[in-house]
Structure 1
């Protein structure tokens, strides 16, 4: 009897939908930052959700990754890590990482992803074409 209950519980856990942003923004989609704090962004900065609870992307100089485990529409990056290459856009990259760490809400609408916070900051991304 205990084995049947355990197997049933295991089966229910395996069927749970992904309630993080990756379940809504897609694990195959690459999102390109097009606007930050009302300003257009020129250098290519991307954000992906490769699997439940994970983020990854390319900033102007380095690749980065981290955890994002709160349920949608909430957003909170944890354990942000990046490679350590230098380039002329390193200051922009630092600003981007600080903004990414400060957002707390996510909204996915078609090919647009908006990350925002209560202070009015918005990071606007568009899905890149395959």
Structure 2
């Protein structure tokens, strides 16, 4: 069986249109900057984390587009959750599911994870990510992008 070139053109056009409609959801430049990066926690509720607080140095958050999930590490535990991007810079994160270890920085971790679940919007400025709840104008959590 041979395919005539005249019949191939409509087939290629349909294929191109189908593939063009398979864009990622919410693939705005801001959303793209949010995804697939490791964000290191630098501030919780307006309090900067200091180098003397060695337990926080590895606390991070990652947004993974596939499955719309987050993964991360608090001062004590690994966690995961799901996220949903809305119009503009709206962001909703479900309550994180964590491992169950305790450590001296447990209070800090509790505030970190509670604020994650209260997130209503985000803002990215250069290498900094700020997460806001629905009530205030001050960022509840601040992260910096990890250099690869």
TM-score, scaled to structure 2: 0.70
SS in 1 for 2:103: coil
CA-based RMSD of the aligned residues comes to 2.6
Change (3 A) 1:13 1:68: farther
Number of aligned positions between the proteins:
125
1:54–1:68 Cα contact (<8 Å) kept: yes
Residue 46 of structure 2 is aligned to residue 46 of structure 1: no
Partner of 2:80: 65
CA distance in 1, matches of 2:38, 2:136: 26
Partner of 2:99: 83
- Residues 50-108 of structure 1, C-alpha deviations (whole Å, 9 max, x = no match): 22421111100111111101325111111521111121111211111111111211011
Cα deviation for residue 9 of structure 1 reads: 8.6
Partner of 1:26: 35
2:95–2:113 Cα contact (<8 Å) kept: no
**Stretch of structure 1 that moved more, 113-122 or 7-16:** 7-16
Change (3 A) 1:15 1:127: same
Cα deviation for residue 119 of structure 1 reads: 2.2
Change (3 A) 1:83 1:73: same
SS in 1 for 2:92: coil
1:30–1:47 Cα contact (<8 Å) kept: yes
TM-score, scaled to structure 1: 0.79
SS in 1 for 2:84: coil
- Residues 8-51 of structure 1, C-alpha deviations (whole Å, 9 max, x = no match): 89645522444487523131x11111112211124132111122
Partner of 1:112: 128
Residue 147 of structure 2 is aligned to residue 129 of structure 1: yes
